[in-house]
Structure 1
Amino acid sequence: MDSEAKRTSGQPAMAILYEDNHLLGIEKPVNVPTQEDASGDPDLLNLLKADIKERYGKPGNVYLGLVHRLDRPVGGAMIFAKTSKAASRLAETVRSRRFSKTYVAVVHGTPPQPQGRLTDTLLKDERTNTVSVVPAGTPGAKEARLDYRVLGSSAAERLSLVQVELHTGRPHQIRVQMNRIGCPLYGDQKYGVAKNKPGQQIALWSLYVGFPHPVTKEPVDLVSLPPHAYPWELWEDGMYTQLAALLQAGENGMEI
């Protein structure tokens, strides 16, 4: 993100990727919860409400609708609705699968195929906030589907860079499904504890979010590139910018 780009007020300041009267697109910082949780730490939703209130001098309560979520340790592109009408229309866009979400992740090892589709049945344990793969038909479990493509591998580091397209939005979905094929995410302390060390930052990033504008119907494209830090820097920046350009052109490079 350009250092001169518009940013939110307050701390942490966040890059604004898109904004009009209906929508606010931002680059989520890592380790900030999307919404209020048991930790009591400042959450993204309330931080952004306070930002809108300050930047626009709005009195009273500020409306901001949560359209999708990112796990606390994950950063990147996110969109919020500034009106209830926009929130309702975006929710329908998500339901009708016209809302595209593309992630990049660094995983241990190399997936068994250069690209593929993973379909699993996932069950969340609310008590432990963990998700497991279970047999189809398990009460309370939901189907999870994603497509992945290997973008590059580092033999020296035994790490691979993968592109992930979500078809469902289950909790911890990418982390659980990639671990299931023997490729846990770098830095994932929950599902890759055997491969990762305490203190490592999970390498999962929301690179692209695309959808038709809820009012104008024009395409909206949000792009957020991973930070210049290990392990992302094992691959050239051009890898991420080229993928983002492909996605903005309506292509994802996958043939599943």
Structure 2
Amino acid sequence: MAMETTPSIPILYEDNHVLAVVKPPGIPSQEDDSGDPDMLTLLKQDIKARYNKPGNVFLGLVHRLDRPVGGAMVFAKTSKAASRLSEAVRSRSFGKTYICVVHGTPRTPRAQLKHYIRKDSGRNQVTVFDKPAADAKDAVLDYETIAVNGRYSLLAVKLHTGRPHQIRAQMAHIGCPLAGDRKYGHASAEAAMDVALWSTSVTIPHPVTKERLTFRSVPEGKPWEWWSGEQLEQAASFYIAQNK
């Protein structure tokens, strides 16, 4: 059972070095131009209050989730942990799996997508290329089609790289944009819905003990309610099971 910092940010795991939580959709990972409350600030405030800490609280952001995306997210509670977890991200020993709902059904039920992504920071949008392009970085993910429900499909996704908007942009590039994604898709009929993407697990080497830890989260509500609990669990655990 997850503890809670506030009703909206459940804690999945916490020790002296690591804090794993469930990020709610709609909250920025860190402070941005909107001025809205962000995960880093909210969690620092919570740690300060729960432990009655004087002065500033350290909390390191080692990976991000897009603002509309929810699910498992890990923070570092010390500078040493932040450095080691950031290195795990760079060396790709920091595992991330997701589930998403896409329009249509991918032509190939299971595949690895390899593209190149260039970010336009001014527009906060990325462009996907099939071949190397100037200022574009490699983007690699695996996906598995778990279930099909009318016009939509439920996919399990494993990221090998962590590029901006990677899953959203790559799935749109193959003709299967995410439901609710107004940036890369066609979401007029889903205007009130969050982007149908959820961080179902983060696997890290613990920064001190080196033990491999996996933190999991399965979403609720729309559009996830379009699928049975068994289908969601199958999608959320698919790539974890493959790694065993």
TM-score, normalised with respect to structure 2: 0.94
- Residue of structure 1 equivalent to 2:223: 231
Quick one: distance in 1 between partners of 2:123 and 2:193? 21
1:142 positional shift: 0.8
1:243 positional shift: 4.7
Quick one: distance in 2 between partners of 1:44 and 1:197? 26
Q: Please state if 1:87 is matched with 2:87.
A: no
Residue identity matched to 2:5: T
1:131 positional shift: 0.6
Quick one: distance in 1 between partners of 2:234 and 2:169? 27
Residue identity matched to 1:169: G
Quick one: distance in 1 between partners of 2:224 and 2:90? 32
Q: Please state if 1:193 is matched with 2:186.
A: yes
Mark the CA change 1:207 to 1:19 in structure 2 (over 3 Å): closer, same or farther: same
1:117 positional shift: 0.8
1:139 positional shift: 2.4
DSSP-derived class of the 1:79 partner:
strand
Query: How many residue pairs align between the two structures?
Result: 244
- Residue of structure 2 equivalent to 1:207: 200
1:239 positional shift: 2.5
- Residue of structure 1 equivalent to 2:47: 52
Q: Please state if 1:169 is matched with 2:169.
A: no
Gaps of 5+ in 1: none
- Residue of structure 2 equivalent to 1:62: 57
Q: Is the 8 A contact 2:181 2:187 kept in 1?
A: no
RMSD of aligned alpha carbons: 1.8
Mark the CA change 1:76 to 1:217 in structure 2 (over 3 Å): closer, same or farther: same
- Residue of structure 2 equivalent to 1:8: 5
Q: Percent identity?
A: 57
Residue identity matched to 1:6: M
1:252 positional shift: 5.0
1:231 positional shift: 1.9
Q: Is the 8 A contact 2:179 2:187 kept in 1?
A: no
Quick one: distance in 1 between partners of 2:202 and 2:174? 26
Give a deviation string over 1:230-251, Cα, whole Å, max 9, x none: 22122211223345555555x2
Q: Is the 8 A contact 2:154 2:235 kept in 1?
A: no
Quick one: distance in 1 between partners of 2:213 and 2:238? 14
Give a deviation string over 1:111-140, Cα, whole Å, max 9, x none: 010100111111111111111113644322
Residue identity matched to 1:240: L
Mark the CA change 1:56 to 1:214 in structure 2 (over 3 Å): closer, same or farther: same
DSSP-derived class of the 1:139 partner:
coil
Mark the CA change 1:137 to 1:110 in structure 2 (over 3 Å): closer, same or farther: closer
1:214 positional shift: 1.0
Quick one: distance in 2 between partners of 1:247 and 1:164? 8
